[in-house]
Structure 1
Amino acid sequence: MIPSPSLLRGRCIMKALSIFVAFAALLIAPMASARDAGIATTIRAMADGFNKGDIAAVKALHVVDPTIVDNVAPFVWSGGGSFDKWLGDLGKSEAAAGKSDGQVWFGDSVDEQVSGDQAYVVAPCRYTYKQGGKTMREEGFIALVMVRVGAAWKIASWSWASPAGVAAK
């Protein structure tokens, strides 16, 4: 018996759908497995440390001399003592601008590329602070380059990108 045209069409559609699902699974599986929980843990710990004022803990999440790019003059720090120099310049800038009570937030990564013991990560970020009696907010992105040191991920470099703060609503 010869199958009807509608039955053949149904089989073709089912076969095409099966191929599509299998292809989609091949594409999605590497993306899902590319996420490394240790990377997110380090980034969350960085925000938690800042928000608690535990700068020693934040510094410990970095390699010895990270490269930092931030929207505070002189905008880039690298080499010997870079973290401490950035922290000092940030403190001076914040005091001069009358900023206080800063809190950072990093969202889930929107791009995470891992190659062996190195990673490039981009995540949304937000900095909320008080200035002139108002709560202000900067929203943007942070890009981090990370390296695996033993079982942990350390921050080798990061760059903050956000427009100037606006009054929080």
Structure 2
Amino acid sequence: MLKLIAFTSLLAATGSAAAAAPADEAAKAIATTLDKFNAGDVQAFIDAHTADAVITDEFAPYLWSGEGSVKRWLDDYAKDAAARKIENGRVLHGRQTQASSFGERAYVVLPTTYCMTEAGIPKAGEGHMTFVMTQAAGSWKIAGWTYSAPSPTAYTSKQGKCGKAK
């Protein structure tokens, strides 16, 4: 009986480890997407999303959905950045604080720091991005994401939030 309990425990532990793998893969796909966004690879950023991804962000109109939503978000981000004199926007990210999956869906939360220069002043906003991922043609795609953080504030290079101030 003791051997049966030990074997059952081993199977349960193995199943838990296997279940975590898809969520970790989804988190890795997100990290790669954000890194490509930071490098200026707009097409890779678009391609990493489903065609009708849902996006919630801090600038108007705050919600993008439906066909072409990512391109519309990029266009509105560019308009907002120009109006507010924002340059060098990038999203630094840490390891996921939460990642779970169920079938072909995953839920991933990443700590983030939005770094930028606004009217010549280096600013950073520490917060989180929450993603819903879906499997499509054997790879993870972003079905939706939400950015949540306080407004970015000025920092000095000594604070080290985003590297050296320019």
Interval of TM-score (by shorter of Structure 1 and Structure 2): 0.7 to 0.9
TM-score normalized by the length of structure 2: 0.80
Report the CA distance between 1:34 and its aligned residue: 1.3
Distance 1:49 1:113 in 2: 23
Decide which moves more: 145-154 or 38-47. Answer: 38-47
Specify whether residues 165 and 32 from structure 1 end up closer, same or farther in structure 2 by C-alpha distance, changes over 3 A only. Answer: farther
Match of 1:66 in 2: 53
**Percent of residue pairs identical:** 34
Q: In angstroms, what is the RMSD of aligned CA positions?
A: 2.3
Q: Is 1:147 aligned with 2:134?
A: yes
Alignment partner, residue 162 of structure 2 = none
TM-score by length of 1: 0.79
What is the aligned counterpart of 2:16 among 30, 46, 67? 30
2-side partners of 1:123 and 1:28: how far apart? 26
Detail structure 1 runs of 4+ shifted over 4 Å in the superposition.
26-29
Runs of 5+ unmatched residues, structure 2: 1-8, 160-166
Give the Cα–Cα distance (whole angstroms) in 1 for the partners of residues 98 and 64 of structure 2.
24
Larger Rg: 1
Q: Report SS of the residue matched to 1:84.
A: helix
Q: Which runs of 5+ in 1 are unaligned?
A: 1-22
Cα pair 1:121 1:145 within 8 Å, conserved: yes
Kept after mapping to 2: 8 A contact 1:38/1:152: no
Cα drift, residue 27 of structure 1: 7.3
Q: How many residues align?
A: 148
